[in-house]
Amino acid sequence: MKQWSREIEINAPIEHVWSYLDGSLEQMQKIMPQVVENKPVTITKEVVGSIYRQKYKEGKRIEEYDVHTLEYSNHLNDKKVKIGFTLANCFEITALYELHRINDQKTKLRYTATNKALKWYVKLFMIFANEKVVIKFLEKVKEVAEAEAKTGF
């Protein structure tokens, strides 16, 4: 299993940044445009245990998988959501998003991703996996959140 973790400061209020991770499909697509569908399958009162059926477009191919909410907390100064899913019966993936309020206009986002190969031949691809995807994702969230925060989203 490989794990990558990075953090970035975003010049936008914590609630604004959180809206991309805990909001509508429309908000999610601003930072993850490849997600074309995110439908609830099971919703729990505590949020943990909730399941969403997600469709992800990669080129012309669309992958469908169930996203499980593994951790969730939504407090004034700190917010966290951890999801997990199995992709193409080959990878077990988790994504942990942790937000911390630095001040009213600045948020720290820590993103931790894990990727576990489920088949022996896929483990070869894992040798070349790196944190580029994590860095690119954080930069995308920062770019979108700061641009929309300036315009009043």
41 strand-pairing partners: none
Q: What is the DSSP letter of 146?
A: H
Structure-token match 């700061």, residue found: 146
Mean pLDDT of the residues in the chain = 93
Strand ranges for the chain from DSSP E: 2-10, 35-42, 51-58, 61-74, 78-87, 91-103, 106-117
- The two tokens of residue 73 are 């907390």
How large is the average pLDDT for residues 36-43?
A: 96
* pLDDT band per the 50, 70, 90 thresholds, residue 34: very high
pLDDT score at 129 = 78
pTM of the complete model:
0.92
- The two tokens of residue 48 are 């943990």
* pLDDT band per the 50, 70, 90 thresholds, residue 23: confident
* pLDDT band per the 50, 70, 90 thresholds, residue 47: very high
Say which range, 10-14, 30-34, 105-109, 122-126, has the weakest mean pLDDT: 122-126
pLDDT score at 152 = 64
**120 exposure class (CB count in 10 Å sphere: 0-12, 13-18, 19+):** exposed
pLDDT score at 153 = 54
Closest CA to 28 of 94, 114, 105, 97: 97
pLDDT above 90: percentage of residues in the chain: 81
pLDDT score at 134 = 92
Q: Are 1 and 116 in contact (CB under 8 A)?
A: yes
- The two tokens of residue 144 are 């979108």
Closest CA to 149 of 4, 15, 5, 1: 15
pLDDT above 70: percentage of residues in the chain: 99
Say which range, 38-42, 51-55, 103-107, 123-127, has the weakest mean pLDDT: 123-127
**How would you label 35-68 residue by residue, b for 16+ Cβ within 10 Å and e otherwise?**
eeebeeeeeeeeeeebbbebebeeeeeeeebebb
